[in-house]
Amino acid sequence: MSQFLKSLLVASLITFAASAQSAELKVGYVQVDKILQDAPQTAESGKKLEKEFSPRSQELERMAKQIKDIETVLDKEGLTLSESERRTKERDAQNIKIEFQRKQRELREDINLRKNEELGSLQDRINKAVQSVSEAEGYDLVVYSGVAYASKKIDITDKVLKMLGKK
């Protein structure tokens, strides 16, 4: 369903609910992108992933230097090396490059997997914080910021960030 249709549906439901009930409907919205950017858990998650994958990144840096060193030797001494020595060094460099590419791909895949796990955990915490703020302040409906228009008066993003900061 397109974003416009979703917004129209929400607006229709709000209008219908407001006219059907004499009680006032309290609506709020949350800017998830701002929460993901500003939540303290986002920085913690980044540091955690950095620490977790730092040894493997350093190993890749070491391998890249090793490849460069071999290529430098081949460039400088390639003509003075015997044919077998040159082939051996070229083969060594090629084997290290293949291993480097494999490890680089595995690292990238593992990082993406862990980022998704961390993001899922953070989304659960955000949802719980939104629910807590909504219940505490009596909101009947809270939507994510993907609506056509929403007044800043009903933006509860900072309250959710404050709730996340307490945890």
Domain boundaries, the chain: 3-166
The per-residue pLDDT of the chain, averaged, comes to 86
CB atoms near residue 134 (< 10 Å): 19
The per-residue pLDDT for 6 is 62
Topology (CATH level 3) of domain 3-166: Protein Binding, DinI Protein; Chain A (3.30.910)
Burial of 164 (0-12, 13-18, 19+ CB in 10 A): buried
pLDDT tens across 59-115, in order? 999 999 999 998 898 888 878 888 898 889 889 989 999 999 999 999 999 999 999
What gap in Å lies between CA 111 and CA 85, rounded to an integer?
38
What gap in Å lies between CA 38 and CA 163, rounded to an integer?
12
Long-range contacts of 100-103 (CB under 8 A, 24+ apart): 100/60, 100/63, 100/64, 100/67, 103/56, 103/59, 103/60, 103/63
Q: Side chain identity at 160, as an amino acid letter? A: V
List all residues 6 or more positions away from 138 whose beta carbon is below 8 Å from its beta carbon.
Answer: 26
pLDDT at 1 over 60: no
Q: DSSP letters of 37-82? A: HH-HHHHHHHHHHHHHHHHHHHHHHHHHHHHHHHHHHHHHHTTTS-
**pTM of the entire structure?**
0.69
What gap in Å lies between CA 108 and CA 106, rounded to an integer?
5
What gap in Å lies between CA 56 and CA 43, rounded to an integer?
21
pLDDT tens across 115-133, in order? 999 999 999 999 999 999 9
pLDDT at 9 over 70: no
Which of residues 110 and 144 earns the better pLDDT score?
110
